[in-house]
Amino acid sequence: MKGQAADDYTKIVIGYDGSDNAKRALARAAGLAKATGASLRIIVAVNTIVPMYGTTAPYYPADYADDVIKEGKRLLAEAMDAAKEETKNATGSVLDGHPAEMILDTASREHADLIVLGRRGISGVERFLLGGVSSSVVDHSKCDVLIVK
């Protein structure tokens, strides 16, 4: 629903990674949810299949996936605590996959009206090599996207 008024938002999805930008974005999303009565869906995306590189070949440390999921759950609890100061209508989950894909999939599946993200300060070269989550979400979202600085 492109171009809708802020008071028309009923479902807001936010990607959260614990960074300062994500914390500012969460505060903005929670404030919008409170002001509009919208539901707030917090997504913490983790990637449990990123290999480490040793001297001979890629490998996966034994506890890597468990550690990544545990950190994701910690970040989600932090975000939920912060959001509940503003709104009682917040839910969240830790999803395994690329952050942009997880955010876009959730927004599409739940028919979100708005996606809120913190801006990442990466250079043009890093964005070309790594892809920026916020850039990817803006490029592929079917709903409004708010990037918070």
Would you say residue 1 lies in a domain? Answer: no
Would you say residue 121 lies in a domain? Answer: yes
Number of C-beta neighbours around residue 145 at 10 A: 19
CATH number at residue 43: 3.40.50.620
Would you say residue 133 lies in a domain? Answer: yes
pTM of the model: 0.84
CB 86 within 8 A of CB 33: yes
Would you say residue 37 lies in a domain? Answer: yes
Question: 74-103 in b/e burial notation, b at 16+ Cβ within 10 A?
Answer: ebbebbbebbeebbebbebebbeeebbebb
Could you read off the pLDDT of 98-122 as tens digits, one per residue? Answer: 899 999 999 999 999 999 998 875 4
Could you read off the pLDDT of 34-76 as tens digits, one per residue? Answer: 999 999 999 999 988 766 666 666 666 778 889 999 999 999 9
Chain-wide mean pLDDT for the chain?
85
Written as one string, the DSSP assignment of 45-58 is: EE-TTPPEE-SSSE
Q: Domain span at residue 39?
A: 6-148
**Per the structure, how many domains does the chain have?**
1
